[in-house]
Amino acid sequence: MADVNTAFEHAVAESKNLPEKPDNMTLLKIYALYKQATTGDVDGKRPGFTDMVGRAKWDAWNELKGTDGETAKQQYIDLIESLK
């Protein structure tokens, strides 16, 4: 578990220094995996129609509902590695 946490923290730091900015769908996946890994399942209401960015983030995070934190961390690490 400690190895995954260390690798996750390293991947979070590396995500800020990627060679090029990922597309919006990839950015949503990075956001959702980070939130699932650090917070757990999404809670609260889905943002309204006028908040399109918040709604897209909520939807992406909600798709990961039920994924345990360690699995989300490993998926985050793998995604960041693939973008380098």
Q: What is the pLDDT along the chain (84 residues), one digit of tens a residue?
A: 569 999 999 999 999 999 999 999 999 999 999 999 999 999 999 999 999 999 999 999 999 999 999 999 999 999 999 998
* DSSP, residue by residue, 16-35: TT-SSPPPHHHHHHHHHHHH
Reading the block at residue 83, the tokens are 């973008």
Domains delineated in the chain: 2-83 (1.20.80.10)
Instruction: Look up the pTM and report it.
Output: 0.91
CB atoms within 10 A of CB 40: 15
